[in-house]
Chain A
């Protein structure tokens, strides 16, 4: 495996794929985060981290064009638009018992490209087969989505995102709720997409350690913007260390698991790596 730090040196002087300037995020006039500035170049691996309520989800919705920013603007370059971001959302509860085959789900990533054409083409079906093979799940293509493990489901949703986008992926807590082994596999798959397919990765994460391990850039949110820059700069800041010192790093790591448990109405399970 190559050192992820090499990713940084790969940046050329092309225009950024995505840049946010003076962004204020929020709903219905209520701001949750202010003055956010960052740039994403082709091939970057940006991790967006921060506590719950720091505006990460709103940032995602704003980047995807689902929520307009209260102020500031997002601009796309390098032939990219908001519609061409491959989005891997968090799973909703009702999807867990949804009767659908993995193929049906993955193919739906092509809908935007199809416009008003009602059915999928043969080439698109072949592309899905190819993606399933690349993601190591060729045997799952005809299986029912709800019968799969969490890690397998995430790969199916990743295949769908890859059908929708070739250049940029936006992943919303892709390892949330996965067991440690599935988590590692997911991180490796994402790192491979970044290195080998040169896909730009934007990932929202609670897992600071893994973010620092895989990302090239970090956007740390909390009360507006606290940090944006390369990972090498980030590890020098007190931000990361402060979490460790206050013993809050572990809180970050297991927050995904806890919040999922809370949503399910059960007592939060503590889970330390």
Chain B
């Protein structure tokens, strides 16, 4: 049986198809938004927010809520708004506030799980929340539908506001001066970031979500030098690496999240090299 037949066999299972669709879409949204975050010098936002989401997940687990999203989503969105909505003029500069929030949430989350969890396998739970689990393979049709709708919404809004997002990312003061509602767009970016992080947590786990946001953007920036090219390239990288990562992890039984992120790291290396080479070539 060759590789393609093997893939065909795997894809005959609905849970594999679900995982594939949800994974690729989440990675796509994360990468597109990631370009803005990286350029605004907010690369660590994804990391910080995913720690917050971990804390929220712990609270949900302790309260034995059936649908964890009810707690995780609002809490993460709230933190994102507090961190990002101030834009470049926030009072506590991003890094300090972020460091506080992320380690704080992490500690409280683990404490809660240890003291109050009813689960028999606490370290297993913690590990799978942090590094992603088989949960992506246990998605229901409803989960996938939610993921598809959310991704479509994010992509549509991003397309509609693309030029404004560019302007605000490049020069917030100028944008504000010509009357763009920068506060509103910062809020939008904050909320979407949080939503994507919570979605991505199912895929790669809390500790690795930020990789989905920053790696495609950084890779694309090694080679391309216009905003639109960077966005498009990041999107393509995200789709390819996540698809590859999921396939490999299914076939070789490696952890999904770690495999996708490793593919991202490898891609980044390739793009670095390509960037070096193209810089030495005479401009076309």
Q: Is A83 part of the contact surface with B, judged by Cβ < 8 Å?
A: yes
* Count of interface residues, chain A, beta-carbon cutoff 8 Å: 32
Q: Is B227 part of the contact surface with A, judged by Cβ < 8 Å?
A: yes
* Partner-contacting stretch, out of B53-61, B118-126, B171-179: B171-179
Indicate if the CB atoms of A111 and B39 lie closer than 8 Å: no
Q: Which residues of A contact B (CB under 8 A)?
A: 64-66, 82-83, 85, 87, 89, 92, 94-95, 98-101, 104-105, 107-109, 111-112, 114, 118-120, 142, 144, 146-147, 160, 164
Given contact pairs A94-B39, A144-B226, A66 touches B177 in the complex (Cβ within 8 A)? yes
* Partner-contacting stretch, out of B156-164, B187-195, B266-274: B156-164
Q: Is B228 part of the contact surface with A, judged by Cβ < 8 Å?
A: yes
What are the residues of chain A within 8 A of B240 when measuring CB–CB?
Answer: none
Q: Once the chains are docked, how many angstroms separate the CA of A114 from the CA of B166?
A: 14
Q: Once the chains are docked, how many angstroms separate the CA of A171 from the CA of B78?
A: 38
The distance from the CB of A167 to the nearest CB of chain B, in whole angstroms, is: 14
Closest to A94 in B: B41
Contact partner of B227 (CB less than 8 A), chosen from A83, A100, A142, A164, is A100
Closest to A81 in B: B179
Q: Once the chains are docked, how many angstroms separate the CA of A149 from the CA of B167?
A: 21
What are the residues of chain B within 8 A of A100 when measuring CB–CB?
Answer: 166, 170, 225-227
Q: Is B110 part of the contact surface with A, judged by Cβ < 8 Å?
A: no
Contact partner of B225 (CB less than 8 A), chosen from A107, A146, A160, is A146
Interface code B206-222, partner A: CB below 8 Å = 1, 0 otherwise? 00000000000000010
The distance from the CB of A114 to the nearest CB of chain B, in whole angstroms, is: 8
What are the residues of chain A within 8 A of B180 when measuring CB–CB?
Answer: 111-112
Given contacts A89-B174, A144-B226, 20 further A-B contacts (CB under 8 A): A65-B177, A83-B177, A83-B178, A89-B171, A89-B173, A95-B170, A98-B39, A98-B170, A99-B224, A99-B225, A100-B225, A100-B227, A108-B163, A108-B167, A109-B178, A111-B163, A111-B175, A112-B180, A114-B163, A144-B225
Closest to B173 in A: A89
The distance from the CB of B207 to the nearest CB of chain A, in whole angstroms, is: 27
The distance from the CB of B167 to the nearest CB of chain A, in whole angstroms, is: 4
Contact partner of A99 (CB less than 8 A), chosen from B167, B171, B227, is B227
What are the residues of chain B within 8 A of A108 when measuring CB–CB?
Answer: 163, 166-167, 170-171, 174-175
Contact partner of B171 (CB less than 8 A), chosen from A66, A83, A95, A119, is A95
Q: Once the chains are docked, how many angstroms separate the CA of A161 from the CA of B160?
A: 23
Q: Once the chains are docked, how many angstroms separate the CA of A142 from the CA of B120?
A: 61
Indicate if the CB atoms of B178 and A104 lie closer than 8 Å: no
Q: Is B230 part of the contact surface with A, judged by Cβ < 8 Å?
A: yes
Task: Sample 11 A-B pairs with CB under 8 A, ordered by A number.
Answer: A83-B179, A89-B173, A89-B177, A98-B170, A99-B225, A104-B226, A107-B163, A108-B166, A108-B175, A111-B163, A112-B178
The distance from the CB of A56 to the nearest CB of chain B, in whole angstroms, is: 15
Indicate if the CB atoms of A104 and B230 lie closer than 8 Å: no
* 3 pairs of A and B residues whose beta carbons are closest in the complex: A144-B225, A101-B226, A112-B178
Indicate if the CB atoms of B162 and A118 lie closer than 8 Å: yes
Interface code B179-206, partner A: CB below 8 Å = 1, 0 otherwise? 1100000000000000000000000000
Q: Once the chains are docked, how many angstroms separate the CA of A252 from the CA of B159?
A: 46
What are the residues of chain A within 8 A of B224 when measuring CB–CB?
Answer: 99
Indicate if the CB atoms of A66 and B176 lie closer than 8 Å: yes
What are the residues of chain A within 8 A of B179 when measuring CB–CB?
Answer: 83, 112
- From B39, B163, B166, residue with most partner A Cβ within 10 Å: B163
What are the residues of chain B within 8 A of A114 when measuring CB–CB?
Answer: 163
Closest to A160 in B: B174
Q: Once the chains are docked, how many angstroms separate the CA of A111 from the CA of B175?
A: 8
Q: Once the chains are docked, how many angstroms separate the CA of A51 from the CA of B164?
A: 35
Q: Once the chains are docked, how many angstroms separate the CA of A64 from the CA of B224?
A: 34
Indicate if the CB atoms of A104 and B177 lie closer than 8 Å: no
What are the residues of chain B within 8 A of A66 when measuring CB–CB?
Answer: 173, 176-177
Q: Once the chains are docked, how many angstroms separate the CA of A64 from the CA of B172?
A: 13
Q: Once the chains are docked, how many angstroms separate the CA of A105 from the CA of B41?
A: 19
- From B41, B160, B166, B179, residue with most partner A Cβ within 10 Å: B179
